[in-house]
C-alpha cells in the first residue's frame, strides 16, 4: 500500500507539472498512466483525474494571475459553456462503453495535436476587425523579450460552442478539457498560446468541480487513489506554472504536440484491447 501511495504521489506530481505547464491540468496525463501502468479501472481513473484537475487548477492559478497571463474576462464568458457541457457529460458517463472512451480520447488528442501544428506563429493582432470583442482584449508581459504583448479577441460565439463540447468531453474522460480549450482559444479567439494555457488552467477547475461533485455522490471517487493524486497535483502544478512563464511559445507548441501524439497512440491501442504495458503495482 505504501508503494502504491508513493507511486501515485510521484505520478501525479510529474503529470501535473507537465499539465500545468501546458494549461491542460494533469487529468489528460494521469488517466492514461493510471490505466496503462497502474492497471486501475477506467472509471476509477477518470474520477481520480477529475480530482487532479481541480487540484492542478488551484496549484497554478495564482502564479498565472500574478503574471497577468490569465484573461479572466474570457474565462468567465466561456466557463458558462464548459460547465453546461460538463454536466451533460456526467449523464452520459457509465452509458458509453469503455472501449469507446479510449477511442474518443485518442481522436481528441490527435485532433488537438494537428490543430497546434497548423498554427505555428502567434497572431497577436488580428488583421480583420470582424467579430471583434474589444472588451475582452488584453496584454501580458513577456519575460523572454521584455515587452508588453497585446492581443485581440474575436469569434466568441464560435468559441462558446467549442467550449460546450470541451466540457462534455472533460466529464466523460476526466481530462479537464484543457486539451480542447487551448486549441479552441487558439483557433477561434486567436489568443497567444501562453494566454490560452493560463486561461485554460483558470477555467478547468470550475469545469471539473461541476462534474466532480456528481462523481462523488455516485461513490466513484476512491479516497485511497484520489487523495495522493490531489496532493501531488497541487505541488506539480505550481512547478509547471513557473516553467511556462520561462519557456518560449514555439517550444511550448512543439512539446504540446509531441505529448499529445504519444498519449493518442497509447489510448488508441487501448481502444482495441492492446495493452503495451504488462504487470502493475
- Total of domains in the chain: 1
* Structural domain includes residue 280: no
* Structural domain includes residue 242: yes
Encode pLDDT of 110-145 as tens digits. 877 776 676 545 444 444 444 567 788 888 887 776
* Structural domain includes residue 97: yes
* Structural domain includes residue 279: no
Nearest to 33 by CA among 82, 105, 111: 105
Q: Exposure string (b/e) for 104-134, b if CB count within 10 Å is 16 or more?
A: bbbebbbebbebbeeeeebeeebeeeebebe
Nearest to 93 by CA among 154, 168, 41, 147: 168
pLDDT averaged over every residue in the chain: 79
* Structural domain includes residue 46: yes
Given a cut of 80, is residue 67 above it in pLDDT?
Answer: yes
* Structural domain includes residue 277: no
Residue 146 or residue 232, greater confidence: 232
Residue 203 or residue 170, greater confidence: 203
Please tell me the predicted confidence (pLDDT) of residue 13.
92
Q: How many helices (DSSP H) and strands (DSSP E) are in the chain? A: 10, 2
* Structural domain includes residue 171: yes
Q: Taking residues 156-173, what's their average pLDDT?
A: 81
* Structural domain includes residue 205: yes
Distance separating alpha carbons of residues 164 and 199, to the nearest angstrom:
16
Q: Provide the pLDDT confidence category of residue 280 given band limits of 50, 70 and 90.
A: very low
The range of the structural domain enclosing residue 6 comes to 2-271
Q: Taking residues 184-196, what's their average pLDDT?
A: 82
**Which range among 12-26, 40-54, 129-143, 248-262 shows the weakest confidence by mean pLDDT?**
129-143
Q: Taking residues 152-156, what's their average pLDDT?
A: 84
Distance separating alpha carbons of residues 147 and 161, to the nearest angstrom:
33
Distance separating alpha carbons of residues 222 and 263, to the nearest angstrom:
24
Amino acid at each position: 500500500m505504501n508503494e502504491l501511495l508513493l507511486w501515485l504521489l510521484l505520478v501525479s506530481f510529474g503529470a501535473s507539472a507537465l499539465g500545468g505547464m501546458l494549461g491542460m491540468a494533469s487529468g489528460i496525463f494521469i488517466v492514461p498512466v493510471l490505466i496503462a501502468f497502474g492497471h486501475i479501472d477506467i472509471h476509477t481513473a477518470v474520477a481520480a483525474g477529475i480530482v487532479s484537475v481541480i487540484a492542478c487548477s488551484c496549484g497554478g492559478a495564482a502564479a498565472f494571475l500574478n503574471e497577468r497571463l490569465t484573461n479572466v474576462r474570457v474565462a468567465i464568458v466561456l466557463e458558462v459553456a464548459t460547465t453546461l457541457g460538463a454536466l451533460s457529460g456526467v449523464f452520459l458517463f457509465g452509458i458509453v462503453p469503455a472501449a469507446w472512451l479510449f477511442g474518443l480520447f485518442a481522436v481528441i488528442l490527435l485532433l488537438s495535436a494537428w490543430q497546434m501544428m497548423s498554427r505555428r506563429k502567434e497572431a497577436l493582432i488580428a488583421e480583420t476587425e470582424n467579430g471583434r470583442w474589444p472588451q475582452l482584449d488584453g496584454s501580458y508581459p513577456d519575460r523572454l523579450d521584455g515587452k508588453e504583448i497585446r492581443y485581440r479577441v474575436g469569434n466568441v460565439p464560435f468559441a462558446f460552442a467549442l467550449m460546450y463540447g470541451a466540457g462534455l468531453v472533460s466529464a466523460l474522460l476526466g481530462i479537464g478539457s484543457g486539451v480542447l480549450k487551448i486549441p479552441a482559444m487558439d483557433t477561434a479567439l486567436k489568443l497567444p498560446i501562453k494566454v490560452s494555457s493560463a486561461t485554460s488552467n483558470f477555467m478547468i477547475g470550475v469545469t471539473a468541480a461541476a462534474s466532480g461533485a456528481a462523481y462523488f455522490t455516485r461513490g466513484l471517487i476512491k479516497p485511497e487513489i484520489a487523495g495522493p493524486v490531489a496532493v501531488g497535483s497541487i505541488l506539480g502544478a505550481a512547478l509547471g506554472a513557473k516553467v511556462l512563464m520561462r519557456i518560449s511559445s514555439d517550444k511550448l507548441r512543439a512539446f504540446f504536440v509531441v505529448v499529445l501524439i504519444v498519449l493518442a497512440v497509447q489510448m488508441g491501442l487501448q481502444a482495441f484491447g492492446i495493452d503495451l504495458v504488462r504487470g502493475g503495482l
